[in-house]
Amino acid sequence: MTDYVRRILDARVYDVASRTPLDAMPRLSGRLKSDILLKREDLQPIFSFKIRGAYNRIARLPAEARARGVICASAGNHAQGVALSAQKLGIAATIVMPVTTPQIKIDAVRHWGGAVVLKGDTFDDAYAHAKALEAEQGFAFIHPFDDPDVIAGQGTIGVEILQQHADPIEAIFVPIGGGGLASGIASYVKFLRPEIKVIGVEPVDAASMKTAIDAGERIVLDRVGLFADGVAVRQAGAETFRICRTLLDDVLLADTDEMCAAVKDIFEDMRVIAEPAGALSLAGLKAYTVANPVRTGALIAINSGANMNFDRLRHVAERAEVGEAREILLAVTIPERQGSYRRFVEVLGNRNITEFNYRFAAGGEAHVFVGLKLRGEGVEKAALLAELRGLGYQVLDISANETAKLHIRYMVGGRVPGLKDEVVLRFEFPERPGALMKFLNGVGTEWNITLFHYRNHGADYGRVLAGLQVQPTERARFAAQLTQLGYPYEDETLNPVYRLFLGD
């Protein structure tokens, strides 16, 4: 730890990086009844903290290494840091990025003078190609997180936080991808103020550091979700794992809805838009307040970046209310007879309806997909469910049902009487030119497509809900075809929301 403190204090970052403010969040502080502060790394020249570690590493290269040029692999923010740092120091930079990288980040790298090479669908694909180019052409490889100079550069954020807030601090929440930021901040903060908790936060579908710490060794995840692309890393770094397992007090997990809610919180207090990875630590902070109602000292989150595609905002806005527990999504069964629709709306009273999907259904029952704004959280939700059930309605809370939120809400009314042998699957595939056609070709033409819903959410991965007629005797061959296709999928045939709104 002493070695890292020396490295951090000696780090060269301010030739190009800014000392970012530690801003109060008055709205959120009032709601959570704590002093909530946000470290504004979104205000760096590249809108991300990554400039610190990248510049510190490149600035320390010997002259012969500089002459050969530098290379890195990155989904975006580290790439921009390397490109800007190299430009500042007059060094050629080659940046290998996954094909799925948001266009805003590709354009930014080119703006800073980096030569962009697009390779593969994931960070690991890009990393392997960058290492091959390093060996072939003699470039100096600038690792995004698992390097002492990179870790030290990121650790300067810890120095600034302790200088900016001399009053008691209970905890600092840090987003974790590979672990460089958490390692740097923890090394400095735990040396000077060991009583301050340093807590990492990861997406629930990209928990490489928590998985490693729980297992006692680094684990390669089979796959990671890419909603928070800035922290989508399948394996924690060797050096960062060594540091984090020793110094971090905990690693919390946050899901997509919680990150979206945190993006909204930051906007409401700061009028700025954080990327999902940038809001990740605040999502963890909020979860911490629920689990720890008695708190002493400030709670600090790192807004690590603001590089988000504009198209993704619609998805964030759609999910933020559910993530904040301010909206509930329900599937309600009502009698299919004259006046029942009106009666149900009357039962809802003056509650704010955020979504209402209904279509006439032949037979005795109809199903309504309804969203309602909540003023409170658990108590109001429980009271609403009890009231509806007490009036004889069949009610299913679908607020946490991913298929309902991504697809079914747009497809209510698509029931087909008499449809036999339908299998419904939810797929993910890289959002790139030709991906949808590859998907259709891969599924083949032997099975009749009975349902298909696709919507581009401005994310790195596209999502499809597909129904196909597959006779029971063909299921094994169909499964083999899907394995050959290679796209991750979930079988949703038994999902109760599908059966209510779309099934026979």
168 in Cβ contact with 313 (< 8 Å): no
For residue 118, how many other CB atoms are within 10 A of its CB?
A: 15
Q: Is 50 a catalytic residue?
A: yes
Catalytic residue among 281, 304, 399, 405: 304
For residue 421, how many other CB atoms are within 10 A of its CB?
A: 15
Q: Is 210 a catalytic residue?
A: no
- Is residue 332 within a helix (H) or strand (E), and if so which, with residue range? strand 327-335
Full strand arrangement of the beta sheet holding 394-397: 353-357, 365-373, 327-335, 394-397
Question: Whole-angstrom Cα distance, residue 228 to residue 40?
Answer: 18
Question: Whole-angstrom Cα distance, residue 357 to residue 410?
Answer: 8
Catalytic residue among 34, 39, 48, 50: 50
Q: Is 242 helix (H, G, I), strand (E, B) or coil?
A: helix
Question: Whole-angstrom Cα distance, residue 427 to residue 464?
Answer: 5
CA distances from 410 to 257, 356, 498 (A): 18, 11, 12
Question: Whole-angstrom Cα distance, residue 471 to residue 176?
Answer: 45
What are the φ and ψ backbone dihedral angles of 448, each rounded to 5 degrees? -70, 125
- Is residue 465 within a helix (H) or strand (E), and if so which, with residue range? strand 461-469
Question: Whole-angstrom Cα distance, residue 10 to residue 257?
Answer: 39
172 in Cβ contact with 199 (< 8 Å): yes
Q: Which residue has the tokens 């040396």?
A: 191
Amino acid at 95: I
Question: Whole-angstrom Cα distance, residue 350 to residue 398?
Answer: 21
373 in Cβ contact with 324 (< 8 Å): no
CA distances from 396 to 185, 353, 385, 500, 502 (A): 44, 17, 9, 10, 15
Q: Which residues are catalytic?
A: 50, 304
